[in-house]
Amino acid sequence: MNIPLDRLSRALSKLPGIGRKTADRMALKLAYHQDTLLRALAGALNEVSATVRSCSECGAVTVAGMDPCKLCTDTSRDSSMLYVVEDPSDVIAIENTGVVRGRYHVLMGKLSPMDGNGPWDLPLELLLKRIDSNKFAEVILAVGTDMASDTTANFISELLKGRNVKVTRLALGLPVGSGIAYSDPVTLERAITGRQAM
């Protein structure tokens, strides 16, 4: 594969669920359909780059000019519950269940010493500040079930001890080794409903 196609393929392979062979096929398809696919994709990427941001309060996806995001400014949401998630896609997955009306805090990752991701890589100071200033009654650790997610949940649970907040974690139905964004709405609803104290 030539150098520009190889660079495109390497970039595509960094997306979740895209392996190197799939990325190679995608790169070739884009190269051979420049007038339709490639230009449309480039335009969409430029638009996202210019308009999509992370909410300064919760870390979820928002658009330029709307910060804090719609979820943070919605006064009808339950401000006593804070869902701590690993990724912005987890917010979307949880919202799609239709059963959650709380607030969110996006970690943008998880603790994984083997990958060099420590507590300093996550917005934990902001999490503590939000918990202390908003007086949440319950913090729901809506993280995955792999070892790094378990480590993250346990670390945050220890961090919140003595802060007068109930700490729970999603349970019932999430498969081991999976993430929130990959769960179907029914399974995710059961996990939210059956959350357990930590």
**pLDDT for 49-103, tens place per residue?**
999 999 999 999 999 999 999 999 999 999 999 999 999 999 999 999 898 899 9
Q: Residue 146 and residue 157: Cα distance in Å, rounded? A: 16
**What pLDDT is recorded for position 57?**
94
What is the arithmetic mean of pLDDT over 33-56?
94
- pLDDT for the residue 19: 94
Orientation angle between helical segments 147-159 and 124-134, nearest 10 degrees: 40
106-141 residue pLDDT tens: 999 999 888 888 889 999 999 999 999 988 999 999
Confidence tier at 174 by pLDDT (50, 70, 90)? low
Cβ-based burial of 55 (10 A; exposed 0-12, middle 13-18, buried ≥19): buried
Q: Which residues contact 113 (CB under 8 A, 6 or more apart)?
A: 151
Question: pLDDT digits over 137-153, tens only?
Answer: 999 999 987 889 989 99
Q: Do domains 3-53 and 74-197 have the same CATH topology?
A: no
List of E strands, the chain: 52-54, 61-63, 81-85, 103-106, 138-142, 166-169, 196-197
Tell me which fold the domain 74-197 belongs to. Dna Topoisomerase Vi A Subunit; Chain: A, domain 2 (3.40.1360)
CA-based max dimension of the chain:
60
Rounded CA gap, 98 and 134, in Å? Answer: 24
Segments making up each domain of the chain, as ranges: 3-53, 74-197
Strands (E), 8-85: 52-54, 61-63, 81-85
Q: Would the pLDDT of 1 be above 60?
A: no
Contact 1, 24 (CB under 8 A): yes
Query: Domain 3-53 carries which CATH code?
Result: 1.10.8.420
